[in-house]
Chain A
Amino acid sequence: MSTVGTTAPQAVVASSEPSAAGTPWLLSAPALMLFVGVLVIPLAMTVMLSFHDWGQYKGIEPVFILKNWREIASDPYYAEMFWRTFRIALLATAITAVLGAPEAYILNRMSGRWKGFFMLLILGPLLISVVARTLGWALLFGGNNGLVNKLLISLGLINAPLPFMFTETGIVVALAHVMMPFMVLSVWVALQRVDPQIENAAMSLGAGAFTIIRRIILPQIMPGVLSGAIIVFSLSASAFATPAIIGGRRLKVAATLAYDEFLNTLNWPLGAAVAVLLLVALALIVVGSNALIERRYAEVFR
């Protein structure tokens, strides 16, 4: 190109090029600065922090050692805690999927007025503060004085209160409750893309109600269920308030443990290591499953 072109146009091109290439950067500079300032820098500092040393008396020492990571890798307490975190998140996800998908389907078939009302009910958990909602569960199931427990005992259906507080079951149920809207909305969006006549089409070809759900509707809303599952799983695995209130000090998950290390033990480097590990594990799971879903459903949707 340079051999063909004369010098004059080339000079023009050369002088205008840097500004043309720089314009997109210039325009996105404010957002980029915000992104770097509030996300990248703190994250990098947290990663750095996880390699620092810490002692009861000497505090944090800015050195580069693998002590915290070695501790997490060798102490089975951490393995158990991470396993528990993901087990709870997985169960909560499963519950929201099994209950949320039919819920969205039913909601979608309702007529206008009822649809609005039930949509509000489903979104309800999101409108109430986590603390108030979780304490509500505690009021219902907390030990002998819990409302439901009292009722069931006085009815003679059980003779000891149902264990809920400080149990994994309790955390799973409470998390599933909070996360339900994300699943319902995600499936609902998928249902909007389903042709309203498609069930009639399947019916005219001889399919019964169950076959229609299994063979026609479910495969079409599966991407919605899966993306809802990714949201619910990652929010549940990193949830703090619900496991903190219902799990108490005994039942630790990754988020509550990191919090403890930071604010109670004051072992910031160890807390940072736990937080970074949770972040990396979640990122890998989310990115991995997202790629899988996209590959699996690429043919069908666009």
Chain B
Amino acid sequence: MSFLELEHVAKQFGSQTVVDDFSLAVRKGEFISFLGPSGCGKTTTLQMIAGFLEPSRGAIRLEGHDLTAVHPARRGLGVVFQSYALFPHMTVAENVAFGLEMRRVPRSQRAERVAAALAMVGLAGYEARYPRRMSGGQQQRVALARALVIQPSVLLLDEPLSNLDAKLREEMQIELRQIQRTLGTTTILVTHDQNEAMSLSDRIVVMSQGRIEQIGTPQETYERPASAFVSQFLGKTNDFAATVDRTANPARLVAGSWQAPAPVAVAGPVTISLRPERISFADVGLAARIVSRIFQGNHWLFQCETECGPALVVRQNDGKPQPAEGEAVRLAWRLEDMSVRSSGGAA
């Protein structure tokens, strides 16, 4: 039995369905990310788990018990908000101690646990500060300590890092993952940053317009996207229009001057999708011209114009000479790196 279960959960505001048919089983100690574009219902789903919103349909269970029947104050979940929502009139120590106070933890024990929680997030010595006198990253840590000190059964994080600058965000990501690993707290993270979701989570729930597009490990969602939406959303993707030549025997898949044996299942006009880093320059293949090349330190980015439309190619900077701008090249890729779907139907 899974630890936290969402079963066909839906949420409607008036006539507008914001989350629909959301089913997810979370294992104990797992790190899950809800990933999707703005307005796709991530926060709404998280708030239903936290209890700030009531689901219109469906069930939410924690260790087999119906969670929707429990008042949010009694659910014992830790929540970190995008705005941190620290209590500005309380010191850092008072903020962190608040949850313990509500649980009637004795004063002596409280101080100890607050100190431990603050030490864990690297804020030992900041007890007497007021939140307004701290940087965004520090406030974020206080919010995390405040949520973790009550030893929540599930930690819910709503875009906790989105207000931080890129460098600080990366640091916090590493720290967050470390803390989560050490404590083993089951964690759900809401984010619209695919890199964040990939680097932190055990599994990613990709959402679009209130529905789940795919649930899988970061590698699965990236390597084998279940839909065009997922492949577009998770990193860059090249789409080439191709045809299946049935006159040849066996049938061949043709995209411009590139061709290969056709997979059995496809017919008619199809779309080939593949990641930019899986394309290589070769002697035979799709004819293309380099429009621009951008040096990115550890890799090169090539913008190409091919027979089948524009393409993006990423090559590792391995010290070998790379094609120059304006040069004519041929693009090739391994068959197992591409996914083929028929262009007409919903991919």
Contact = CB atoms under 8 A, between A and B. Distances in A.
Interface string A189-223: 00000010110111111111001000110011000
B83 A197 contact: yes
A205 B102 contact: yes
B106 to A, nearest CB: 16
Contact of B130 (A195, A205, A299): A299
Contacts of B130: 299-300
Given A200-B72, A200-B79, A205-B99, 15 more contacts: A198-B87, A200-B47, A200-B85, A201-B81, A203-B51, A203-B52, A203-B73, A204-B51, A204-B75, A206-B73, A206-B150, A207-B73, A207-B102, A219-B89, A300-B130
Nearest to A200: B52
B88 interface: yes
B85 A300 contact: no
B132 interface: yes
Contacts of B73: 203-208
B88 A300 contact: yes
A195 B85 contact: yes
B320 interface: no
Interface in B44-93: 47, 50-52, 72-79, 81-83, 85-89
A301 B132 contact: yes
B98 interface: yes
A302 interface: yes
Contacts of A211: 102
Interface residues of A, number: 21
B181 interface: no
Contacts of B203: none
A204 B72 CA distance: 6
25 contacts: A195-B83, A197-B85, A198-B87, A200-B50, A200-B52, A200-B72, A200-B79, A201-B85, A201-B86, A202-B98, A203-B51, A203-B73, A204-B51, A204-B77, A204-B147, A205-B73, A205-B102, A206-B74, A206-B76, A206-B102, A208-B73, A216-B87, A220-B88, A301-B88, A302-B132
B79 A206 contact: no
Given A200-B50, A200-B79, A300-B130, A207 B98 contact: yes
Chain B: interface secondary structure?
loop
A168 B146 CA distance: 51
A206 B103 contact: yes
A195 B158 CA distance: 15
B87 A204 contact: no
A207 B132 CA distance: 23
A300 B131 CA distance: 8
B51 to A, nearest CB: 8
Most-contacted residue by chain B among A204, A208, A299 (CB, 10 A) = A204
Interface of B: 47, 50-52, 72-79, 81-83, 85-89, 98-99, 102-103, 130, 132, 146-147, 150
B53 to A, nearest CB: 10
A198 B147 CA distance: 13
Nearest to A208: B73
Interface string A270-302: 000000000000000000000000000001111
A35 B88 CA distance: 39
Contacts of B78: 204
A206 B89 CA distance: 18
Nearest to B50: A204
Interface centre among B51, B78, B85, B150 (most CB of A within 10 A): B85
B89 A205 contact: no
Contacts of B98: 202, 205, 207, 215
Contact of B146 (A200, A205, A300): A205
Contacts of A203: 51-52, 72-73
Nearest to B81: A197
Contacts of B147: 204
A203 B50 CA distance: 10
Contacts of A299: 130
A215 B79 CA distance: 19
Contacts of A219: 89
Interface string A219-237: 1100000000000000000
Nearest to B143: A201
Contact of A206 (B47, B52, B99): B99
The 10 closest A-B pairs by CB, nearest first: A206-B102, A205-B99, A201-B85, A197-B85, A204-B79, A219-B89, A197-B81, A300-B89, A198-B85, A195-B85
Contacts of B72: 200, 203-204
Contacts of B82: 197
Nearest to A300: B89
Nearest to B103: A206
Contacts of A206: 73-74, 76, 99, 102-103, 150
Contacts of B146: 205
A205 B85 contact: no
Contacts of A301: 88, 132
Contacts of B150: 205-206
Contacts of B50: 200, 204
Contact of A220 (B74, B75, B81, B89): B89
Nearest to A204: B79
A113 to B, nearest CB: 14
